[in-house]
Amino acid sequence: MKRWLSIGGVCVVLLAFVLPFDARATTALDIDGETEAFAVRVEYDLPLPGSIGTEPHVVGEIRRTFGENAKGLAGAPTDFTAITGGAVYDPWSTVNGNDGPLAVSGNSTGIKDPIDPHNGLPTAECFYPGQPATTVSWPRDLRADTKPIPPTSYANAQCGAGPTTQLTAWSASDDVPGSPTGALGSVLHTGALDATSLLQPEHGVVTSTARASAHEVSVLGGAVRIGGVEAEGTSTAQGPGGADGTNSHVALSDISAGGQVFSVADDAITVAGNTFPIDSSAGQAFLNNVNAGLDATGCKLSVLGPANPYPQGFLLSRKPPQIGVAKDGTFAASMHGGMLILCDLPQDVTTPTTFTPQRVQILVGFVYSMARATKGDAGFGTGDFLAGAGSINTPSKTVDVPGPSAAPAPVVAAKTDTNNVPQTQALPASAGRTIRYRPLARSTRIIFIVFGILLLIVATNVASRRLKELVGS
């Protein structure tokens, strides 16, 4: 009886140790979160699209599977684009190239430039683990000689454990003289711009939020004026059996175009106290009137909405995402666009610049957010001892993410009216994705177990000898 009680006691102790570590008993979920938002994106047709910039811009991402990582980018503006990048990266490339002594007519003078010709980029980036936080103050951080200049824009990116990504971008104006987007002045003027984003799991819910805003937007010297732009989106996912949800919207207030003054919010147009849906006949008729009034300026505008196809080139800084809400609480994502303005540029605007774009398209207000919480790979559980070693390496896990068909998102903009720019690039509906995990290799696990048992035997032997000597039987 005593022996069986002892064996039972040992079993209870072993179970108490093993069960809490049991992979199948854990409640940890694999999580993902993504966000992107900007207030204004300007692209020129040269005829190849070469973007002048996106401002302010936040792009965030968090992941947790077997480990955690977070990354984020905040730019005011971002340095993604060819023209901005060219101007900032290589300011004197025609004179002396990127490095080395000054050159005159291609001949090296042997004289080193008095200041470092390399520019700091107007973008703050963070990675976790790795680079937890970055702050860029512009143009103070452009070069050593610009340090005394008061900042006109600011970007901060922080990534941390959790995982968490927090982003902030702010700019006094898009066309500050001397700034990388100074050339925009003749095409686009804005007042203060700012964008923020926060991605983190909190109290068991993956939350991704992003927001961007701009004030006093003016296109082509006032052909189109927008008093305020607010783009905001949030997605949450609690995991299997839990809740999930997403919302995104872009509000444009005090729009003055084609002799009309109106606002756009919640997919509806408000004019002189009357509100009607954008895709209604009244809404389309109103937009036709606005575009007719804009004919003299060479501009046309269309209102976007919570749709997944957008007439941009590359809209997101990532591959086309899934949009929709899963019924089981594991996934939610949405994106929303504001207004697209397409203008044929008059000669007097393009002449003063060193390039002569023929057309410019401006996307005002965009937000995308995604949250996912799925049950992770089963890993190695207590039952695997009984099932045999073959089940240690779980081969793979398939996460079926609902595509647009699972939760159809309405395409708001009208399909036939001339006020709409042709929607040339629809994002394809995606099939489910397969994500593969790599648990510990079987040999590694065996080495761990053998090494652990050896250490325990040695330590127990030393301790028991010592105890026996000191305490006695």
Partner 1 sequence: MTATQAPRSRFAPRVQPRMEYLSSQAFVRSVIEISSAATISGYAVSRVTAHRLDPTATMVVLIGAAAINTLLVSLYAFFVALSDTVDGLVTKDGTEKPSPDADVLSAGRLWGRVLGSGVVGGAWGAGLTFLALAALNRRESHFLGLFVGVFIAAGVASITAGLAATALGVRFGLDVPKAAAVRPSRRRAWRDLALPFSALFALVTGAFTVLLFHDYHVGAAFSRHVLTEKEVLADLPIQIIIAVAVANFALGRAGRAESKLGLVSLEDPERQPTTAVFGIQALVAVVLVLLFVGGALVRFLLPAYPTLVQTVIARSAVVFFAALFAGGIAYTRGALNAKVVKR
Residues that bind partner 1 (CB under 8 A): 16-18, 20-23, 26-28, 64, 66-68, 132-133, 156, 158, 160-164, 166, 168, 200-201, 376, 379-380, 392, 439-440, 445, 448-449, 451-460, 462-463, 466-467, 469-473
Q: How far is the CB of 433 from partner 1 (least distance, A)?
A: 21
Please identify, using beta-carbon distances, which residue of 29 and 307 lies nearer to partner 1.
29
296 vs 471, which CB is nearer to partner 1?
471
Task: Pick the closer one to partner 1 by CB: 261 or 455.
Answer: 455
CB nearer to partner 1: pick between 104 and 458:
458
Q: Of the two residues 111 and 463, which places its CB atom closer to partner 1 in the complex?
A: 463
- Read off φ and ψ for residue 22, nearest 5 degrees: -60, 125
Select 285 or 455, whichever has its Cβ closest to partner 1.
Answer: 455
Q: Which is nearer to partner 1, 28 or 104 (CB)?
A: 28
Shorter beta-carbon distance to partner 1: residue 173 or 208: 208
Nearest-approach distance from CB 194 to partner 1, in angstroms: 14
User: Cβ 59 to partner 1, closest distance in Å?
Assistant: 18
**Least distance in Å: CB of 134 to partner 1?**
10
Q: In angstroms, what is the minimal distance from the CB of 390 to partner 1?
A: 15
Closest approach, Cβ 120 to partner 1, in A, equals 18
Kindly provide the b/e burial profile for residues 439-470, where b requires at least 16 CB atoms within 10 angstroms of the residue's own CB.
beeeeeeeeeeeeeeeeeeeeeeeeeeeeeee
Kindly state the smallest distance separating residue 111's Cβ from partner 1, in Å: 38
Three-state SS string across the chain, please? CHHHHHHHHHHHHHHHHHHHHCHHHCCCEEEEEEEEEEEEEEEEECCCEEEEEEEEEEEEEEEECCCEEEEEEEECCCCCCHHHHHHHHCCCHHHHCCCCCCEECCEECCCCCCCCCCCCCCEEEEEECCECEEEEEECCCCCHHHCCCCCCEEEEEEEECCCEEEEEEEECCCCCCCCCCHHHHHCEECCCEEEEEEEEEECCEEEEEEEEEEEEEEEHHHCEEEEEEEEEEEEEECCCCCCEEEEEEEEEEEEEECCEEEEEECCEEEECCEEEECCCHHHHHHHHHHHHHHHHHCEEEEECCCCCCCCCCCCCCCCCCCCEECCCCCEEEEEEEEEEEEEECCHHHHCCCCCCCCEEEEEEEEEEEEEEEEECCCCCCCHHHHHCHHHCCCCCEEECCCCCCCCCCCCCCCCCCCCCCCCCCCCCCCCCEEECCCCCCHHHHHHHHHHHHHHHHHHHHHHHHHHHHHHCC
| Contacts of residue 423, Cβ cutoff 8 Å, sequence gap at least 6 | 309, 310, 311, 413
At closest approach, how far in Å is the CB of 456 from partner 1? Answer: 4
Closest approach, Cβ 331 to partner 1, in A, equals: 19
Name which of 67 and 352 has its Cβ closer to partner 1.
67
Closest approach of Cβ 398 to partner 1, in Å? 19
Indicate the residue among 95 and 450 with the shorter CB distance to partner 1: 450
